[in-house]
């Protein structure tokens, strides 16, 4: 900010003998000074308020989904429309009692660390068969709402290519706030608006939680063998994104993608 010279004010003050005139000049000049400063401050405030409020100015939403009593944000990335929140549908079941999610017409979920409040923050964790609702068809709706589906491995690949490849796409997808990823959360910008969260996963066979707040794991609908499926992972330690083979009894996060 530029500084105002006091020489004009002092010379004017000396030339006027009347105390009243001195007071008037002082008051008037002070008002001009304050008015100028106020105008400049206001201009700065307006300039700041006009900055994009989103880290993803190039994307837009395809609406708010009201599903299962909860509202889900969405984001358009390239030609795809994704949920912007991890799915959190279904009844919480207690993994400490070795309860397996089963084909019983009730959607069931685990919550990270066996703490049901984590589902509100990070979404539910679902075994692959539960997420797919016990079908093995790529692009199946599964536990997603009507008009949406569990992403195929090709859906993930399309997203990764659009975001610049597997060595940088992860950073563009990761949530940047403090209430989420463990530091240092390398490369995180969330410039895509995907807002990925670190839901970790549950190893059902070992009955153990893994990677709380450090990694996010997401199912695809594509099987590799009878007991494994393609999954996607993000890490707090890198901006990379990985597609890998995961055992279907594990419980991972779910993001839904809109049908074309």
Burial of 96 from C-beta contacts in 10 A (0-12 / 13-18 / 19+): exposed
d(CA 248, CA 250): 5
- 142 close to 136: Cβ distance less than 8 angstroms: no
Identify the H or E element spanning 257: strand 257-258
- 237 close to 149: Cβ distance less than 8 angstroms: no
pLDDT at 177: 75
User: Helices 7-15 & 19-49, crossing angle to 10 degrees?
Assistant: 160
Output DSSP code: residue 111. Answer: -
Residue by residue, pLDDT tens for the chain (260 residues) are: 333 333 333 333 333 333 333 333 333 333 333 333 333 333 322 222 222 233 444 459 999 999 999 999 999 999 999 999 999 999 999 766 567 899 999 999 999 988 989 999 999 999 999 999 999 999 999 999 999 999 999 999 999 999 999 999 999 999 997 678 999 999 999 999 999 999 999 998 888 999 989 999 999 999 999 999 999 999 999 999 999 999 999 999 999 999 98
- 92 close to 101: Cβ distance less than 8 angstroms: no
pLDDT at 97: 58
pLDDT at 20: 34
- 129 close to 157: Cβ distance less than 8 angstroms: no
DSSP 3-state percent helix, strand, coil across the chain (nearest 5): 30, 25, 45
Residue 252 β-bridge partners: 126
**What predicted TM-score, i.e. pTM, was given to this entire model?**
0.76
Q: In what side-by-side order are the strands of the sheet with 126-127?
A: 126-127, 251-252, 201-203, 208-210
- 86 close to 195: Cβ distance less than 8 angstroms: no
pLDDT at 12: 34
Q: Which of 171, 247, 167, 176 is nearest to 210 (CA)?
A: 247
pLDDT at 50: 24
pLDDT at 96: 65
């Amino acid at each position: 900010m530029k500084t105002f010279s006091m020489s004009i004010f002092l010379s004017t003050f000396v030339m006027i003998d009347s105390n009243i005139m001195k007071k008037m000049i002082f008051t008037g000049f002070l008002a001009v000074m304050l008015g100028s400063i106020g105008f400049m401050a206001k201009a700065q405030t307006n300039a700041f308020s006009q900055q994009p409020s989103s880290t993803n100015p190039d994307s837009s939403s395809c609406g708010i989904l009201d599903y299962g009593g909860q509202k889900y944000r969405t984001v358009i990335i390239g030609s795809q429309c994704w949920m912007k929140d991890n799915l959190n549908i279904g009844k919480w079941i207690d993994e400490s009692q070795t309860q397996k999610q089963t084909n019983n017409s009730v959607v069931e979920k685990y919550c990270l660390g066996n703490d049901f409040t984590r589902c509100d923050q990070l979404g539910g964790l679902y075994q692959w068969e539960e997420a797919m609702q016990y079908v093995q068809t790529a692009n199946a709706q599964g536990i997603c709402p009507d008009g949406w589906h569990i992403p195929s491995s090709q859906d993930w690949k399309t997203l990764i290519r659009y975001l610049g490849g597997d060595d940088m796409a992860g950073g563009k997808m990761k949530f940047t706030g403090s209430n989420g990823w463990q530091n240092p959360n390398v490369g995180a910008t969330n410039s895509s608006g995907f807002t990925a969260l670190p839901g970790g996963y549950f190893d059902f066979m070992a009955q153990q939680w893994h990677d709380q707040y450090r990694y996010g794991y997401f199912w695809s609908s594509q099987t590799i063998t009878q007991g494994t499926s393609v999954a996607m992972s993000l890490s707090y330690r890198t901006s990379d994104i990985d597609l890998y083979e995961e055992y279907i009894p594990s419980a991972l996060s779910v993001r839904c993608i809109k049908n074309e």
